[in-house]
Structure 1
Amino acid sequence: MRRPIDSLFGRLALLVVAVLLLSHFAWYALMRLERNQLQARYAVEEATFLVDAVRQHVVRNPDQPLPSRVKLVDPTSPEVPPESPNMPPPLERFIEDVRDRMPSGTQVRAGLPGGPPTLWVRGTADHSWIVVPVQPLRPPRSLDRTVLWLVMIFSFAVMAALFAAWALQQPLRSLAQAVARFGRGLPVPPVPERGPRELRQLTHGFNQMVQEVARTENDRAVMLAGVAHDLKTPLARLRLRAEMMDEAKMRDGVVRDVDSMTHIVEQFLVFAHDGADRSEPVEVDAQCERVVRSYRAVASGAPTVETDLRAGPGFRLPAATLDRILSNLLDNAHAYGAPPVVVATARTAEGFTLSVSDNGKGIAAQDLVNASRPFVRLDPARGGNGHSGLGLAIVERLVRRAGGEWEIGNHGGRGLRVLMSFPFSAVPQVKTASESVW
């Protein structure tokens, strides 16, 4: 199951959202802290201003009444609040700030709790306590519009960041798809060079690498096909002359050698062929049954070949590709395996599988890596009988060109098994009657 967090876009999106969330939260917390500090400084300035204003009013206009919320209280009055040592930290800092703004020796106290917040101040030259109202330091507030604006800004920032991450991920996605096609041996068109400078350089290097590999592969294929094609005519003449020999034993031996060389040449031509298979797709189960039936009738001394075909009519492959795959694998099992040889198909949750297995000795674990390399024979004694070391290499190339993957290994100690997997997307779809008309 694919997890979104495993993709580059998913991780970039998660990183961007996390960074934006942390930055907006830090900005909001800093703004709230700064606003509280500004409010505390404003409350100190206001209280200091009111106390100075009351003192000037008493000196200049003693007969004029004071505002309703400002009053003078006699020091002996029981209304004077006691000096409390246990005050909340914000209120204690407020009292200290006000005391710092007053002349030395000024007494500053907070009003009794339960009523309107007041500040009691008495300087050394004051005959009475001056009581002035103060603003609450932490007034209860509902969620203000700042949070709404913060959410809107955060949403727009996330959308812009996700678009930037998507734009950055697209060139990498195209490059990853091209690498996957190149790994399966499929033709790879040039990847557009987009994105940042480093990504453009990487894409340019990949395009150059694909071109060089394609040029080298084409040169090798042309050389191999040319040599194989030029050998076919001398081999035909050699076979004709061998059949005209009088000694039967010598004639049969030369004919067998010529047939082996002809088979090797044909494998060279198949391996060098790099074009797409344009043959008609056929049902794999039905074609496997036909190929196995023909193989039993034609191949002399062939081992027992069994079938276990369960893929159904939806599993279709190009006829020529399928015939070459089966013929090479059956020949390999005939030459090196032991009966019975089993050709099996199945349908899985991801696609279809085709496997050919035998009950021989299999291949040593250290040799499995080299089993499908061209011109490699794991047993030097297998050089005769028309074997060039290309059979499994041809099968791997054909499977990858058809959009599938293959796996070679020993199954349960009962011989070699080649398992080929084809996803649903790689299997040709059956055209309906309406589609064929249009």
Structure 2
Amino acid sequence: MRRAIDTLFGRLVVIVIGMLVLSHVAWFAIIRFERDNVQTRFAVEEAAFLVEAVRQHITNTPDQPLPPRVRVVALNSAEVPKALDEDTPPPLQRFVEDLKDRLPDGTDVRLNEPGGPPSVWVHGAKDAGWIVVPVQPLRPPRSRDRMVVWLAVIFTAAVLAALFGAWQLQYPLRALAQAVQRFGRGQPTPVVPERGPRELRQLTHGFNQMVQEVSQTDNDRAVMLAGVAHDLKTPLARLRLRAEMMDDEKMRDGVVRDVDSMAHIVDQFLVFAHDRPDGSEPVAVDHQCERIARAYRAVSPGGEPIRLSLDAGPSFALPAATLDRILSNLLDNAHAYGAPPIVIETQRGAHGWVLRVSDHGKGIAPDDLIKASRPFVRLDPARGGSGHSGLGLAIVERLARRAGGECEVGNRADGGLQIEMTFPFDVATRPVAERRPGSQQEERAL
């Protein structure tokens, strides 16, 4: 199953959001800590300033009244609060300790009892009574809530900006990955727009240049191969005509058989050199397999060389011309090198539609399996024969890849060669208009 975390965009999103969460949590903790420290320092400085101002007022102008909420209380007054104990909150204990450090040595500092206006009681060595001055509350009730709201707004904006940046970064990479996949399957690959960072633009430019050079080389090879094969068809036709006019029947049959073999090789060359995408309409694979099996049985009515096991259903569809070429090459190959019965199977697999053709012959040596689908490779003497160019399996693999599938050549457990092709669900059933190169659907996909 495809997971979002496996994509570049998914991993970028996880990394970016994780970093943003970590940084915002750290900043929130730092801001809270610093806010408390700043608030405590401000309250300490304010209280020390007021205490010193009261002392100057008592010394210089004792007959003048004190400001509101500032007063001097006798030492033995019943209003004097108790000293701090272990139950006092840590911020208040820190405030008292900092204020003592700020005032002269030996100064006694106490806080007002809870429930009244916040104030601090100070008594120094030279003071005649307790100096009571107001202080600011150390923890405003709404500061934390306001801070959380602002952090949430900033975090949301940062996440949206990061997601947009991650999408902009992975978009050209996704287009390049899709183009690489098409190129690897042998399908027509349009030019990938060169976007993104400099390194990505350089990579895209190199890929486009490579595709252009490989395509030009393939075109030159296909033109040369098609030209040679086409030029050979006319002299072969004349040679066959002359062979038909021979008097010696045995020699005539041998020459005609050789000419037919050469004509078959020429046809294989033309099919292999055909480099254009299949524009035929999709047909149901099961129905087409039944039709081709009936045609082969009609050629050899004495036996049953082909068995069918068609379980894919009508939803499995491939281009008609591609499917005919695949089955024709595989059946010819099985008749020439394998042994009956030949089995054609279709089914709905876990990862896509499966088309499988197998025979009951000797199969291919394990060391030669990797070479079986290479063009112009004949695995003589085990699978040699006249009239074959070594292109049958190479053509099948190319056609399967051009249709969006994968081809695997192997041996059956109980003997015989098996060709298994797997086609993705979303590729094998696409309408022909979506499979043609340059279509709007493919442009949107890139």
TM-score after normalising by structure 2: 0.86
Tell me the CA shift for residue 66 of structure 1.
4.3
Please report how far the alpha carbon of residue 204 of structure 1 lies from its aligned counterpart in structure 2 after TM superposition.
Answer: 0.8
Q: 2-side partners of 1:82 and 1:284: how far apart?
A: 95
Residue deviations 1:164-216 (CA, integer Å, cap 9, x gap): 22222221111111111111111111111111111111111111111111111
Unaligned runs of 5+ in 2: 434-446
Contact 2:316 2:428 in 1 (8 A): no
The within-5 A match list for 1:46-195 is 46-64=46-64, 66=66, 69-76=69-76, 86=86, 89-103=90-104, 105-111=105-111, 114=114, 116=116, 117-141=118-142, 143-195=144-196
Aligned to 1:30: 30
- Name whichever of 211-220 and 60-69 sits farther off: 60-69
Which whole-Å deviations, capped at 9, do the CAs of 1:48-67 have from their partners, x for residues lacking one? 12211221232234345545
- Separation of aligned partners in 2, 1:93 and 1:16: 38
Superposed displacement of residue 28, structure 1 = 2.7
Q: Distance in 2 between matches of 1:365 and 1:383?
A: 16
1:169 and 1:353, CA in 2 relative to 1: closer, same or farther beyond 3 A? Answer: same
* Worse overlay, 191-200 or 301-310: 301-310
Cα deviation digits, residues 93-149 of structure 1 (max 9, x gap): 32332233323x332322375454543322232222323333343354474323222
Residue 22 of structure 2 corresponds to residue 19 of structure 1: no
1:419: which partner in 2? 420
CA contact (8 A) 2:70 2:133 kept: yes
Deviations 1:353-396 (A, max 9, x none): 32211222333333322221111123345443212111011011
Aligned counterpart, 2:42:
42
Report the Cα distance in structure 2 between the residues aligned to 1:262 and 1:299, rounded to whole angstroms.
22
Hey, what's the Cα distance between the residues in 1 that align with 2:315 and 2:136?
A: 81
Contact preservation (8 Å) 2:279, 2:432: no
The DSSP-based 3-state class of the residue aligned with 2:132 is: strand
What amino acid does structure 1 have at the position aligned with 2:390? G
Give the SS at the match of 1:408: strand
Question: 1:268 offset after TM fit, Å?
Answer: 0.9
In structure 1, what is the Cα distance between the partners aligned to 2:384 and 2:233? 20
Q: 1:334 to 1:323 in 2, by over 3 A?
A: same
Aligned-partner SS, 1:120: strand
Instruction: Give the aligned residue type for 1:153.
Output: I
1:155 is displaced (CA, Å) by 1.8
Corresponding position of 2:443: none
Distance 1:210 1:17 in 2: 37
2:271 and 2:300 map into 1 onto residues whose CA distance is 20
Partner of 2:221: 220
**Which segment drifts farther, 135-144 or 326-335?**
135-144
Inter-partner Cα distance in structure 2 for 1:299 and 1:190 = 49
Q: Percent identity?
A: 68
* TM-score when normalising by structure 1: 0.88
Partner Cα distance (2:275, 2:339) in 1? 32
Q: State the Cα distance separating 1:89 from its structure 2 match.
A: 4.4
Q: State the number of aligned residues.
A: 430
Once residues 208 and 77 of structure 1 are traced to their aligned partners in structure 2, the CA distance between those partners, rounded to angstroms, is 95
Question: Given the alignment of the two structures, is residue 376 of structure 1 paired with residue 377 of structure 2, yes or no?
Answer: yes
| Separation in structure 2 between the aligned mates of residue 111 and residue 319 of structure 1, nearest angstrom | 94
User: Given the alignment of the two structures, is residue 283 of structure 1 paired with residue 284 of structure 2, yes or no?
Assistant: yes
Deviation per residue, 1:317-369 (Å, 9 max, x gap)? 33322221111101111122222111122345765332211222333333322
Question: Is residue 9 of structure 2 the alignment partner of residue 6 of structure 1?
Answer: no
User: After alignment, is 399-408 or 82-91 more displaced?
Assistant: 82-91
In 1, distance between residues paired with 2:175 and 2:288?
36
Most deviating of 160-169 and 323-332: 160-169
Report the residue type matching 1:401 in the other structure. R
Moved more, 205-214 or 50-59: 50-59
What is the CA–CA distance in structure 2 between the aligned matches of 1:73 and 1:365, rounded to whole Å? 106
Secondary structure of the corresponding residue to residue 154 of structure 1: helix
Does the 8 Å contact 2:355/2:420 carry over to 1?
yes
Indicate the SS of the match to 2:200: helix
Unpaired runs of 5+ residues, structure 1, are 432-438
Q: Which moved more, 1:13-22 or 1:133-142?
A: 133-142
Report the more deviating stretch, 202-211 or 189-198. 189-198
1:79 and 1:352 mapped to 2: Cα distance?
Answer: 91
Kindly provide the CA deviation profile for residues 273-323 of structure 1, in whole angstroms up to 9, marking residues without a partner as x: 112333344332222112112112326998721112233333333332222
One-letter amino acid matched to 1:23:
S
Equivalence for 1:306: 307
What SS class does the counterpart of residue 370 from structure 2 fall into?
Answer: coil
Structure 2 CA distance for partners of 1:410 and 1:68, relative to 1, 3 Å: same
